[in-house]
Amino acid sequence: MAQQIMATSTPPAPPAPPDHGGTVLSIEGARRRRSRPPVPRGVIRVLVVASQALTRAGLRRLLEDDTRLAVIGEVASGREAARLVRSADPDVVLLDAGCLHSDPAELMRVLGGRVAALLLTDSEADERLLAALRAGVTGVLPKDSHPAELASAVRTVADGGALLPPLTIRRLITELVNSTPTTPR
């Protein structure tokens, strides 16, 4: 009895998505491309800002697991975020500290205080972090946080709360104590 061997071929890789320089071209275009319904009333609208496409995709995936949150756009830089904030009106900008190649205070000025900002950072003692806080970032979340903390942090800053990790609080207290002149009693 002869055995028949069937040759199988590896299916071709799916085509790569179009490269838009890491930018969602427009909110409307993103909705059409992904066939997503409009954001329901009461859902927190989030703009993700991260320089790496894989990071943006991972953050989107984590946030979309929470039905109270909707990612309305993704961009790769603060400059792109500023443009999209004007047209998309997010409630929260989720900002990877790796995008802060420029002055974080300038980014916050461009955002104009119209939107809460949550900064993801891998260094809780970075000078850029303190500059971002001075400029108006309302929350800081270390990148080594548990994934479930991300959605909670976004909701906290969207509701007007502040969020700082313990090492950042310690650094701020130290800076405040060292910069405040003491008066004898």
Alpha carbons within 13 A on the beta-carbon side of 51:
7
C-beta neighbour count of 45 within 10 angstroms: 18
From the centroid of its chain, how far is CA 101? 15
The residues facing 120 across adjacent strands are 96, 141
Phi, psi of 105 (to 5 degrees): -65, -40
pLDDT for the residue 104? 61
Give the pLDDT of residue 154: 98
pLDDT of residue 106: 65
Beta bridge partners, 140, equal 119
Q: Round to the nearest angstrom and report the end-to-end CA distance of the chain.
A: 104
Homologous superfamily, domain 27-179 = Response regulator (3.40.50.2300)
Find where tokens 């199988």 sit. 8
Q: What is the pLDDT tens value at each position of the chain, 185 positions in all?
A: 444 444 444 444 444 444 333 334 334 344 334 444 678 889 999 999 999 999 999 999 999 999 999 999 999 988 788 888 888 889 999 998 877 666 666 666 667 677 899 999 887 666 777 777 877 889 999 999 999 999 999 999 999 999 998 888 888 888 888 886 766 66
How is residue 74 annotated by DSSP? E
